[in-house]
Structure formats: C-alpha cells, structure tokens
C-alpha cells in the first residue's frame, strides 16, 4: 500500500478518433463537403481523464507512437492532470487511430482502423514498470489483451486491487478464467452473460450472477442495467439496486461506462460507503451523457457533489 501518496493506476489504450461528417449525401469516389472532428478516446484513457477531473491522483500507462497524435495525447494528459510518463512510446510508429466517414444522417459509411501498436506492449515492459504496479492502490484494466492481463494479475494480484471494465461481451468471454483475480468488476448485462455463461432475464438471474462472482473471490460486483440503474452485491453481504430518479436529457451515451468506473475509483480512494460510491459513479455517468462529448468538459468534483445533493435516488 502506498500510504504517502496513494494513486490509481489505469492500464489500457489511448486512441485518436477522427470522424468525417458529410454535409450532403455520401457518394463513393468523390470529395464531399462537411466537417471533420478529431478527439482523444479509448476506454481506459477516458477513465484516466475522468479520474483526474474529480481530483484522483492517476497514473496512466498506455501505448503511443512518436507521431504528432501521440505527442498531442501526451500533452493533453499533462493539461488534464494525469501522468502518462510511464507509457510505452514506440519509435517510428503511429498512435492507435480510428477514422470513420459518417453520412449526412450520422450513419457510418466506411472506417479505417490502425491499432497494430496496441499489440506491442509485452511482459518485459510490464517488468520494467514493476514499482508502478506494485505501489498502486487500485489498478483499472480492460480485457483487450488476455495473455498480458493474466501475467499482470498473477504477478501483482496480492499488491494492488484490480478493477475490471470488460468493455464488450466478446472480449469478456476470453477472460472468464481470470475473474477470480479481481477485487471489483463492472459488467453490463451482456458482459455478465459472457462471464457467467447463462442469460440474465430477471432479478433472480442477477442474484445468481452476483453469487457466481462473489464465490470466485470478487469483493464488489456492480452490474449496469442501463436506465434501470445498478445492481450491486458485495462479499460483506450488501446487496441491492440503485438508480437516479431524475429525468435526463440524453445527448451521447458513449462515455457513460468510462465515467462510472472513474466514480468507483473516486469512492474507493476517498473511503466512501458502497452506496455513496455508487451515487458518485451514477452521477458522473449521468453528467457525461448530458453532453455531446464523450467526456463532459465541465466534469469536476463540485458538479458531481451538487448533482448528488439535488437528485432523488431510488433503492
């Protein structure tokens, strides 16, 4: 435990998202007037930024190329207040990039994905960052690289407490055998089904899934039920559902899960109760979806606290 200067470590992808929005009907083999938007993404990068925005000391280890996109992400991390200095910087390679063309109705016509560099992080790199992993209070990971994840979990399982965001049901299936190594998991219904191997159709199924995870050694289970809130169960016997009772104008749901995980991190680092941690997490996710950006540029601790205070909560 790093009592002197505790921090959360986030490990995962940083991605540059480039979207071309057509101003009129899409036509192949032609230049189309419109506008182009460039933003920084990646589930774990989003989590790291949200953590920093609410005042949590955050180390973020990612993979970047030494191109202009990588430099921009690195500079942005300094501005936001999370540390990327221990990341893998690949000489002569490009930063993971996703480029899509959307038609005038917002539907994707085509996309190019450049993610090769994500596979370049290996065990020797992890070994070189031993102290960072060993001293992290909590470590947040996704399920992108099952083999490397298994190595990390087995090596540092007794040192740092691991939090899993499965990211997708497809990826979750590949790490079913690793669930026992996690302190906390935050799957949605589909990811739960992938991890448990059975359908989630009612509350009894939720309880069955919760018991499945707790029996394997997971301490806290938070299952996202979308508009129905969160089902939670802990190894100490706490169980229930929590949802915000406010009517919300949704503008973009993309980053809701990322900010929710950041809220969990905030609650843990500030010794909040499970219910208060969940309120903080739900508040962050709702604040996120009320803005067009994946990360609400106004996100900060005071706004979250104000939202919690002024909202009704259903248990």
Confidence category of residue 33, pLDDT binned at 50, 70, 90: very high
Q: Mind listing the pLDDT tens digit for each residue in 170-220?
A: 999 999 999 999 999 999 999 999 999 999 999 999 999 999 999 999 999
- Separation between Cα atoms, residue 136 and residue 139, nearest integer Å: 6
- Separation between Cα atoms, residue 104 and residue 193, nearest integer Å: 36
Residue-level pLDDT at 263: 98
The CATH number of domain 8-13+42-92+117-314 is 3.40.1190.20 = yes
The count of other CB atoms within 10 Å of the CB of residue 172 is 25
Ordered DSSP codes for 71-85: HHHHHHHHHHT-B-T
Using CB atoms within 10 Å of the CB of residue 264, give its burial: 0 to 12 exposed, 13 to 18 middle, 19+ buried: buried
* pTM assigned to the model: 0.92
Residue-level pLDDT at 174: 94
What stretch of H or E contains 188? Answer: none
Residue-level pLDDT at 2: 44
- Separation between Cα atoms, residue 11 and residue 175, nearest integer Å: 16
Give me 291's structure tokens.
Answer: 């803005």
What sign results for the dihedral spanned by CA atoms 79, 159, 186, 314? negative
Using CB atoms within 10 Å of the CB of residue 315, give its burial: 0 to 12 exposed, 13 to 18 middle, 19+ buried: exposed
Strand partners, 244: 313
Q: Mind listing the pLDDT tens digit for each residue in 106-128?
A: 788 888 988 888 889 999 999 99
Query: Is residue 302 helix, strand or coil?
Result: helix
Residue-level pLDDT at 293: 85
Residue-level pLDDT at 1: 40
Contact 288, 261 (CB under 8 A): no
Query: Is residue 26 helix, strand or coil?
Result: coil
Domain boundaries, the chain: 8-13+42-92+117-314
Q: Which of 260, 174, 265, 178 minimizes the C-alpha distance to 218?
A: 178
- Separation between Cα atoms, residue 58 and residue 82, nearest integer Å: 5
Q: In what order do the strands lie in the sheet with 8-11?
A: 58-61, 8-11, 138-141, 161-164, 184-185, 220-224, 230-234, 239-244, 313-314
Mean pLDDT of the chain: 93
Strand partners, 139: 9, 162
Q: Where are the beta strands (DSSP E) in 145-229?
A: 161-164, 184-185, 220-224
């Amino acid at each position: 435990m790093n009592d002197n200067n505790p921090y959360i470590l986030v490990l995962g992808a940083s991605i540059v998202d480039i979207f071309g929005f057509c101003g009129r009907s899409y036509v192949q083999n032609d230049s189309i007037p419109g506008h182009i938007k460039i933003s920084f993404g990646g589930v774990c990068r989003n989590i790291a930024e949200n953590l920093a925005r609410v005042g949590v000391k955050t180390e973020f280890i990612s993979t970047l190329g030494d191109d202009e996109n990588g430099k921009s992400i690195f500079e942005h991390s300094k501005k936001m207040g999370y540390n990327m200095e221990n990341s893998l910087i690949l000489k002569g390679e490009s930063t993971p990039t996703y480029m899509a063309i959307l038609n005038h109705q917002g539907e994707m016509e085509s996309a190019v994905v450049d993610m090769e560099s994500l596979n370049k992080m290996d065990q020797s790199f992890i070994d070189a960052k031993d102290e960072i992993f060993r001293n992290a209070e909590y470590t947040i990971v996704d399920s992108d690289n099952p083999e490397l994840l298994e190595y990390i979990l087995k090596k540092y399982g007794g040192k740092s407490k691991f939090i899993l965001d499965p990211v997708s049901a497809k990826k979750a299936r590949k790490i079913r055998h690793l669930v026992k190594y996690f302190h906390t998991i935050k799957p949605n219904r589909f990811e739960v089904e992938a991890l448990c191997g059975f359908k989630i159709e009612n509350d009894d199924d939720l309880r069955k899934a919760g018991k499945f995870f707790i029996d394997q050694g997971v301490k806290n289970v938070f299952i996202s039920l979308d508009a129905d809130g969160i089902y939670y169960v802990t190894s100490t016997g706490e169980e229930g559902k929590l949802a915000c009772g406010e009517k919300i104008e949704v503008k973009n749901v993309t980053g809701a899960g990322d900010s929710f995980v950041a809220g969990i991190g905030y609650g843990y680092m500030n010794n909040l109760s499970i219910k208060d941690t969940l309120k903080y997490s739900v508040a962050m996710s709702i604040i996120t979806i009320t803005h067009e950006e994946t990360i609400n540029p106004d996100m900060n601790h005071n706004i979250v606290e104000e939202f919690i205070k002024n909202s009704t909560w259903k248990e």
